[in-house]
């Protein structure tokens, strides 16, 4: 995986609590590692919300915009991560 490569996070199906999955390895993206992509972060991803996979053998950068767009209130979910 190169430094500029990123993946699209997926929304877990049939989950009671909205859960995002890594688009690379399928691991759960912890809410503590989901954040707004601020220009000052210098991330090479053109998405508003990013998630970092915490799996030991992955660590992928995930764009979460499309997955969150499937939810009724995505901003509330992102705010809970902070």
- Taking only the tens place, the pLDDT of each residue in 31-75 is 889 888 876 555 666 788 999 999 999 989 999 999 999 888 777
Cα–Cα distance between 62 and 21 in angstroms, integer?
9
Tell me the C-alpha distance between 47 and 27, whole Å: 20
Average pLDDT value for residue range 1-12? 78
**In the chain, what are the domain boundaries?**
6-81
Question: Which pTM was predicted?
Answer: 0.79
Strand, coil or helix: 64 = coil
The whole-angstrom separation of Cα 58 and Cα 22 is 9
Given the structure tokens 């190169």, which residue do they identify?
2
Comparing C-alpha atoms, which of 63, 75, 79, 81 is closest to residue 11? Answer: 63
């Amino acid at each position: 995986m190169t430094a500029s490569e990123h993946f699209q996070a997926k929304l877990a199906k049939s989950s009671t609590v909205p859960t995002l999955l890594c688009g690379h390895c399928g691991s759960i993206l912890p809410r503590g590692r989901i954040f707004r992509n601020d220009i000052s972060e210098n991330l090479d991803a053109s998405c508003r919300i990013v998630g970092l996979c915490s799996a030991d053998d992955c660590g992928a950068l995930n764009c979460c915009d499309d997955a969150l767009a499937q939810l009724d209130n995505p901003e509330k979910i992102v705010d809970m991560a902070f």
